[in-house]
Amino acid sequence: MRSVTFADARVVDLLNAKFVVAWNNHNPDLDGGAGARQPRFTAEELELYPEGGGGGNVRAIVCLPDGRIVHYVMGWFRPERLVEELEFALTLDEKDAREKHDAHAREHAEAQATLAKDHPREMTRDFAQSAIRRRHAMLGLQAQTHAVAAGVLLQAVDKHLDEVKRHSSSRAFK
């Protein structure tokens, strides 16, 4: 994320122009440990790295100015996708956020189903070999992202991250 998505001009300019930007470590127990340092990927490896990869280790959270969560993206997202999610998040307010997340989840799920119906042969191919298969997976991830966001909607971000930290730290040492 740091050397690709957060180095991208579109992402940086949008974040710096529209948001207060904070970085949080939800498992400081692993700081400097083997799990905290990742190898640098080559451009070829990154091209094939699945968006959403990394799961709960990486969370991008958008909040209203009062700190309540309106959008929640888990895993690694490419710059263009993160920009898409950030721009969507900027349209949300406390009254319409749930409705818009539900609508987007439905749209992505429908688009995913249509893609599978139109390209049945592509669905059996390897991810690395098929852009359509990767697009199909991405649509599923985006639908899931909206469902995850709806589950934490309007929670206070500091309290939510305290919970994540408690869960994450205890899990790491079991």
Partner 1 sequence: MRTLAALLLLASALVAQDEDPPRLIEQLGGDDIDSRDRAEAALVKLGRPALATIEKALAGADGEVKARLQRIVASITRPRWTTDLTRALATAKAQKRPLFVFSTVGDLDGYA
Q: Which residues bind partner 1 (CB under 8 A)?
A: 1-4, 6-7, 9, 11-13, 15-16, 18-28, 30-33, 35-41, 57-67, 70, 86, 89-90, 157-158, 161, 164, 168
Rounded to a whole number of angstroms, the minimum distance from the CB of residue 16 to partner 1 is: 6
Minimal distance, residue 56 CB to partner 1, in Å? 8
Which CB sits closer to partner 1, 98 or 135? 98
Nearest of 63, 41, 67 to residue 54 by alpha carbon: 41
Rg of the chain taking only CA atoms, in angstroms? 17
Shortest distance (Å) from residue 156 CB to partner 1? 9
The number of CA neighbours under 13 Å toward the Cβ of 158 is 3
Smallest gap from Cβ 169 to partner 1, in A, equals 10
The CA–CA distances, whole Å, from 83 to 2, 33, 88, 149 equal: 15, 31, 8, 16
CA torsion 137-145-102-114 (nearest 10°) is 0
